[in-house]
Amino acid sequence: MYIGDEMPVQTMKDCSIVTANYVLGEGLRGTIGIIGPKRMDYEKVVNTLRTMMNQLETTFKNEER
C-alpha cells in the first residue's frame, strides 16, 4: 500500500495504490491493484481485492478441468 508522499511517482502524490499478489497453480503469479484518492475507503478496497483474487482462483480451477 502506498499513500500520498509514499508514492514512487511524485505526480501521483494525491493518490493511493493498494495491491495484492496472487499465485495460481504452478508458475502463474501476478499483482492486482486499485488506484484511488488518498481518502478512499481502504476496507472496501481490500475487500474488493480479496473478491477479485477469489474469482481468479475459481476461474483458474474451473479452466483446469
Phi-psi region of 7 (alpha: psi -120 to 50; beta: other; left: phi over 0): beta
Residue 43 has what pLDDT?
93
Strand pairing report for 15-24 and 28-37: antiparallel
Write down the pTM of the prediction.
0.72
Q: Tell me the pLDDT tens digit for each residue of 7-64.
A: 777 888 888 889 888 888 777 888 899 999 988 999 999 999 999 988 888 887 776 6
Instruction: Report which of 27, 29, 22 is spatially closest to residue 51, judged by C-alpha positions.
Output: 22
Residue 48 has what pLDDT?
94
Confidence of residue 65 (pLDDT cuts 50, 70, 90): low
Residue 7 has what pLDDT?
73
